Structure 1
Amino acid sequence: MLDDYRWEVLATFEYHVGSYPSESVIRVPVGAVTDLATVPRVLWALFPPHGRYAKAAIVHDYLYDQAIGSKAYADRTFLEAMEVLGVSRFTRTVMYWAVRLFGRGNY
């Protein structure tokens, strides 16, 4: 934890887009910085930044920060990763549409 809102990745990890193994692999490197799920503080009781979807949020933040693929690709990958992590359909849907409508990256 770097401060109240930012975290630093301490170990590289990979996400295989689509299925495992996959030709499309996202490698989040040591040192990547994330705020986990970017959720307005007023909604933290329902959607805390560090929920079951945290690893999906780290991948999503990395894609946004590095402008990898398109914004749509990053958002679809976030949705897929949340499903892989067992996030409920309701939560996945809400979080996906939040990033589709309000997400900002380096695109």
Structure 2
Amino acid sequence: MSAPPLLPGVPGDVTAPRQTLLPDLRRFRLADDASYTWRHTPEGGAEGVYRLVVPAGFEHDFASVPRPLWALVAPIDLGIASIFHDWLYARAGRAETLRWAGRTPGAGWEPVPKWWTRRDADRLFARLMREQGVPRWRRRAAFLAVRAFAGGVWGRRQTRPAPRP
């Protein structure tokens, strides 16, 4: 297998899945998997190519922005970044991340034995918004809002098992 087509210094590659608006007119269901592939150098580690996949069937609301604030930041304005952020929050960081190991003959994507932290999830949210062209002021407002107000959502779901070996 050859390496995924993602050169150093370029934005990540994100898929925009088909979605269905649910009857409550507030949530959406993914009809296809959503994936994001990016280059990253973890602290104390070597640079690698990583992938996060949100499976078809996942339900999300794009962003939990209070309706009175929609004139400034409507949920849809934050783009696909909200899908990945909602996925990580819904699972309290217990989402499998894959790392490209294609240099080894017969290898491809391998699971990374580390769960996401809330800070990691919020940083990915900011990165995806930037790469998707969300204006800086809107990204900043959304990032500060999740840092200030979303901790309780993460904490209620935090029943994390020990990381895989």
**TM score, norm. by length of structure 1:** 0.89
Question: Any conservation in 2 of the 1:36–1:58 contact (CA below 8 Å)?
Answer: yes
Query: How far has the Cα of 1:17 moved from its partner?
Result: 4.0
Report the number of matched residues: 104
Q: Once the two structures are superposed, what CA deviation does each residue of 1:46-94 show, in whole Å capped at 9, x if it has no partner?
A: 111111x220001100010112211111100000000000111111111
Q: 1:97 is matched with which residue?
A: 144
* Aligned 8 A contact 2:79 2:132 in 1: no
SS of equivalent to 2:49:
coil
Match among 37, 40, 49 for residue 23 of structure 1:
49
Cross-structure match for 1:32: 58
The aligned counterpart of 1:9 is 30
2:84 to 59, 62, 72: 59
User: 2:31 is aligned with what amino acid?
Assistant: L
Q: Greater share of strand residues, 1 or 2?
A: 2
Structure 1 match to 2:122 = 75
- Extract unaligned runs of 5+ from structure 2: 1-20, 41-47, 94-115, 159-165
Structure 2 length as normaliser, TM-score? 0.59
Residues 97 and 57 of structure 1: CA distance in aligned 2, closer, same or farther (over 3 Å): same
- The residue identity in structure 1 corresponding to 2:136 is R
Secondary structure of residue in 2 paired with 1:87: coil
Pairwise CA RMSD of aligned residues? 1.4
Query: Which of structure 1's runs of 4+ aligned residues deviate more than 4 A?
Result: none
2:125 counterpart SS class:
helix
Percent of aligned positions that are identical: 36
- Please identify which structure carries the higher helix content: 1
